Amino acid sequence: MTPIKIKKKNFVSLLKISSLSLNFFICSDLFAQTGEHEKESAEVSEERIIELNREIESSRAGIEEIQTNAGIYDQSLIEAYWSLAEFYNELEDYESASDILKDALQVARINMGLYSSEQIPLVRLLIENEVKEQDWRAVDDFYELEYLIASRAFSPRDTEYLEALQLYGTWKLRVVRENLFNQSGQSLILTAGEISSFYGRVISKVEEETGLQNKSLLDVLYAKTQIDMTLARYVSSMPYTNFQGTASPFINQTRCRNMRNPQGQVVRQCYSVQVENPRYRQSQRDAKRFALSRHTRAVSRSIGKLESIRNNSTDLTKGEKQNIDMQISQIVIESERLLRGSEKPYLF
């Protein structure tokens, strides 16, 4: 059977209209994790479409039977929903698949608790689907949910917690770097600052639980350093006029001039005018330098922690030590470049 190309949004309707010709194609946009778009065509044979249609109908009938006999929140529905969602995913009907997975998530929460770790695989499937749909707000909501569940279900010393943390941080960094929410420059800086503060709290928490030289902190420190460097780059590239100076933008000046009064006599009249404060521009430049210095200092603190792990951890491999050295070297080079740039006269 010759493969044919089916537009993902039309799969289900095509299955129900046998008289329509299936000889057409359209490319689907699949969003890669790096943020690049790769156009790929989905090739599904007519025979497979018919088979999937039967599987979907059979799965739905099985779900209705479970709901009738065992109740709408029976735990066995989780696996049934998961299987049904996989059929929709194969058809690239991600919206329907997500709706089914949300039903499975609700059943899991009712049976296993609000923060049960069993929900995490379901949440990650929902994230994958929403990424394909490019619904970034929904993706963000599910990453928030995944981290919340992991932070309640696991200890900071658990690899499952650190994995969820890394995924969460990588996503948040992508939100800032690609500006997925179309935020203004100032809003992006605020968002990145919140992520940096979040990482700072997490690092302190992990240090309390696992010790200062635990190599499990490495990925977290790398992530925090990346967000702090991103903040430093944003600040460095922004015009100093975007920063709030400490001096008043305007000052009042008294100006006088000689005038003749109605009697013809020359008198001196004075009045007050508002003019731009020359110190305000300098205070804006100082504010920019201070903001850049604050972020580079945060980077320096992370470098210090990396060096401490490098020098004191007893279970690091040679490759891990080399990677730490490489990361530190790259961070130091860029930090110094940004600081040198901040010392030059401001041209904008």
The string of DSSP codes covering 291-319 is: HHHHHHHHHHHHHHHHHHHHHH-SS--HH
Least confident interval from 4-18, 171-185, 189-203: 4-18
pLDDT at 343: 57
The answer to whether 93 touches 61, Cβ cutoff 8 Å, is no
Q: What share of the chain is helix, strand, coil (3-state, %, to 5)?
A: 65, 10, 25
Least confident interval from 47-51, 109-113, 279-283: 47-51
Least confident interval from 83-92, 116-125, 160-169, 234-243: 234-243
- For 274, which DSSP code? E
pLDDT at 44: 60
**Residue ranges per domain, the chain?**
172-251+275-315+342-348
The answer to whether 292 touches 339, Cβ cutoff 8 Å, is yes
Query: Which residue, 281, 285, 288, 283, is CA-closest to 236?
Result: 288
Please report where in the chains the tokens 């940096």 appear, as a residue: 196
Least confident interval from 203-217, 266-280, 283-297: 203-217
Distance between CA atoms of 50 and 158, rounded to whole angstroms? Answer: 45
Residue 10, pLDDT above cutoff 80: no
Least confident interval from 35-49, 118-132, 320-334: 35-49
Residue of 37 and 330 predicted with greater confidence: 330
